């Protein structure tokens, strides 16, 4: 037995992980170079670089990118305003993640991490070489200041998310300890990903207010030129302190990155084809099929690629505001689900390039299927009187149509559900017993979404429902989301590789007033399932059952009308870049590309 124990310790040492007994607590303490939310880190303590980079990638050149919208602030964390699209990158975090794993963190500002196996605290040991962009040392005082700044002046959801941190202490200049009110593994990763602010810059400024000028940061790039709302140019810091760390080696290779802003995606596409910017990820099937028929593509000057993937998919959907009176009835939401004819849309608008979303855990083992198994039933039965009975049968799936655009079977079923909810079709209008017409708005900010929304509106008209599009700019859109001043809008729930405590932001009633809880969900069963998910992170079998149970409950409550996803990244770029042979598992990997001067010279000829 002792031999086995010593062998285990030796193996852990080789992996860069050391386990000690906690001080008189009987709880083992782990000190490691990395932290994994699930399983073990892929890379050992002595790793030299991530597998998907070229460690000898040349530095230099410019990358020009584009985004749709505008910005009026460089403070990503302000409670108002539109922040510059890359402003989150101003600050390095204590640790950083890799793109071929999910929920694994490696050294950046912190060179190592220590925590007990009950996750009641975490200590970070800072790299003595870590520097802010003005050359000043990053210390534990900056970390403590950052945490308090987020808690005192940050947005409400951050305060809620970090509320279980009971104490943060600068143990010494390069050591900081966070203590939690209870066991909380997610808080370990939350603190690991905490962006660190320079205390000497921010202590005299209000963190909740927008910034009209770029702040002092700690990241690899600083803004050197900008036109507020139109463009921002970032320059790589030549003596960036972390550029040779294993977690940074072969990454961040461009000397300059510029972001240009366009009023809509159509204008952006034309600018790309004219050579105004370099790289574009295409999200619109019609544009991918028809919008790139230009000589630059046939000549090889523009490279057009589809990169297949099987990564977890977000739940892109038409989201109901369930606090809006019309949509408080589940039968109404179910009826409207029947009226989205995906098969017609996919054939006629999307060139059959999309797959229908069916789950909040798409492309993962946590996607519910068939009828609930014994483990799921054990979770769900205590809530039987609070759940639709359908939850205990086959999982809900969007109905398939024949793609003709005349979905009469779905129309009949939808009208029957609406009649149960008190709505009747009279003179081609759906009305209630007070004679009030069923009418609502769909809030959009992108003209490209109008094209796919109009067929849905026409489908609703066939059952007497009037839906109107309300098009606003991106600033108005964000403000209306914040104040829940919308009835339905296309949005996306973040992709999840597994059920995680962070789901509470989008689903828990405590966050009902947050823009993250887009549907305004306030459901005690959902709350209870999320709490079970939070405390079951170490139990793989229980977590699998919880994920499937959650998926069933959410689907059968019809909080959204699922849309679709692509099973590949569609990218186009001007042929002046090179990239590593190996692509990261969970990303395109643009930050591992580099400017190829030979290709650029050929392109210019």
Residue 435 has pLDDT above 60, yes or no: yes
- Calculate the average pLDDT of the chain: 93
Q: What is the pLDDT of residues 122-143, one digit of tens each?
A: 999 999 999 999 999 999 999 9
Secondary structure string (H, E, C) spanning 419-444 = HHCCCEEECCEEECCCCCECEEEEEE
Residue 18 has a pLDDT of 57
Q: What is the pLDDT of residues 301-342, one digit of tens each?
A: 999 999 988 799 999 999 999 999 999 999 999 999 999 999
Q: Which residues pair with 569 in a beta bridge?
A: 307
Could you give the domains of the chain?
Answer: 2-202 (3.40.190.10), 315-565 (3.10.105.10)
Distance separating alpha carbons of residues 424 and 426, to the nearest angstrom:
6
**Closest to 564 (Cα-Cα) out of 359, 332, 289, 334:** 359
Residue 524 has a pLDDT of 98
Distance separating alpha carbons of residues 175 and 177, to the nearest angstrom:
7
Distance separating alpha carbons of residues 314 and 303, to the nearest angstrom:
27
Residue 17 has a pLDDT of 53
Residues 482-491, buried b or exposed e (16+ Cβ, 10 A)? Answer: eebebbbbbb
Instruction: Tell me which of 221 and 283 has the higher pLDDT.
Output: 221
Tokens read off for 16: 């860069």
Residue 4 has a pLDDT of 36
Residue 157 has a pLDDT of 78
Tokens read off for 273: 């084809």
Q: Which residues pair with 304 in a beta bridge?
A: 572
Tokens read off for 441: 């708005």
Tokens read off for 477: 């859109």
HSE value, Cβ hemisphere, 13 Å, CA-based, for 104: 18
Decide if 106 contacts 41 (C-beta within 8 A). Answer: yes
Distance separating alpha carbons of residues 518 and 159, to the nearest angstrom:
19
Long-range contacts of 474-480 (CB under 8 A, 24+ apart): 474/68, 474/69, 474/70, 474/82, 474/445, 475/70, 475/72, 475/82, 476/445, 477/443, 477/444, 477/445, 478/82, 478/515, 480/443
Residue 190 has a pLDDT of 94
Average pLDDT for residues 519-526, to the nearest whole number? 97
Q: What kind and span of H or E run contains 459? A: helix 447-461
Decide if 573 contacts 303 (C-beta within 8 A). Answer: yes
Decide if 300 contacts 594 (C-beta within 8 A). Answer: no
Residue 72 has a pLDDT of 96
């Amino acid at each position: 037995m002792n031999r086995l124990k010593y062998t285990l310790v030796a193996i852990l040492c080789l992996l860069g992980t050391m386990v000690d007994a906690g001080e008189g607590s009987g709880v083992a303490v782990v000190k490691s170079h990395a932290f994994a939310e699930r399983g073990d880190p892929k890379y050992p303590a002595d790793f030299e670089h991530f597998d998907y980079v070229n460690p000898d990638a040349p530095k230099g050149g410019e990358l020009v990118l584009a985004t749709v919208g505008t910005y009026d602030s460089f403070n990503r964390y302000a409670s108002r305003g539109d922040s510059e699209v890359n402003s989150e990158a101003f600050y390095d975090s204590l640790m950083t993640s890799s793109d071929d794993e999910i929920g694994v963190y490696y050294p950046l500002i912190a060179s190592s991490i220590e925590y007990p196996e009950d996750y009641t605290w975490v200590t970070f040991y800072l790299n003595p070489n870590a520097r802010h962009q003005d050359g000043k040392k990053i210390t534990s005082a900056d970390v403590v200041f950052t945490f308090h700044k987020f808690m005192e002046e940050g947005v409400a959801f951050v305060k809620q998310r970090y509320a279980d941190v009971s104490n943060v202490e600068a143990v010494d200049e390069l050591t900081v300890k966070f203590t939690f009110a209870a066991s909380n593994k997610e808080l370990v990763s939350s603190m690991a990903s905490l962006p660190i602010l320079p205390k000497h810059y921010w202590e005299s400024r209000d963190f909740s207010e927008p910034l009209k000028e770029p702040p002092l940061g700690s990241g690899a790039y600083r803004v050197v030129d900008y036109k507020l709302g139109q463009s921002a140019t970032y320059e790589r810091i030549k003596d960036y302190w972390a550029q040779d760390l294993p977690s940074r080696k072969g990454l961040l290779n461009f000397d300059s990155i510029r972001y240009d802003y366009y009023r809509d995606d159509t204008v952006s596409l034309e600018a790309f084809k004219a050579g105004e910017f370099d790289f574009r990820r295409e999200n619109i099937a019609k544009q991918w099929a028809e919008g790139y028929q230009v000589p630059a593509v046939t000549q090889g000057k523009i490279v057009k690629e589809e990169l297949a993937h099987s990564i977890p998919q977000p739940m892109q959907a038409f989201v109901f505001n369930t606090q809006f009176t019309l949509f408080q009835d589940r039968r109404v939401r179910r009826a409207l689900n029947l009226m989205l004819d995906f098969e017609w849309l996919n054939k006629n608008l999307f060139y059959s390039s999309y797959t229908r979303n069916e789950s909040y855990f798409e492309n993962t083992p946590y996607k519910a299927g068939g009828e609930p198994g014994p483990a799921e039933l054990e979770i769900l039965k205590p809530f039987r009187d609070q759940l639709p009975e359908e939850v205990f049968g086959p999982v809900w799936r969007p109905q398939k149509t024949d793609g003709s655009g005349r979905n009469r079977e779905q129309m009949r079923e939808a009208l029957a559900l609406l009649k149960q909810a008190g709505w009747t079709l009279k003179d081609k209008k759906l009305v209630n017993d007070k004679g009030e017409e069923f009418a609502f708005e769909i809030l959009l900010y992108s003209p490209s979404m109008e094209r796919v929304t109009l067929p849905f509106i026409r489908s609703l008209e066939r059952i007497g429902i009037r839906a109107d599009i309300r098009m606003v700019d991106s600033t108005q859109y964000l403000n209306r989301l914040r104040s829940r001043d919308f009835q339905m809008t296309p949005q996306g729930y973040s992709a999840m590789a597994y059920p995680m405590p962070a789901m509470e932001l989008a689903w828990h009633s405590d966050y009902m007033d947050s823009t993250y809880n887009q549907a305004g969900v306030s459901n005690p069963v959902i709350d209870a399932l999320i709490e079970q998910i939070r405390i079951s992170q170490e139990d793989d079998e229980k977590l699998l059952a919880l994920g499937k149970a959650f998926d069933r409950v959410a689907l059968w409550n019809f909080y959204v009308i699922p849309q679709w996803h692509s099973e590949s990244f569609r990218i186009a770029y001007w042929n002046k870049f090179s990239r590593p042979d190996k692509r990261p598992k969970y990303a395109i990997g643009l930050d591992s590309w580099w400017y190829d001067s030979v290709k650029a010279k050929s392109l210019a000829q």
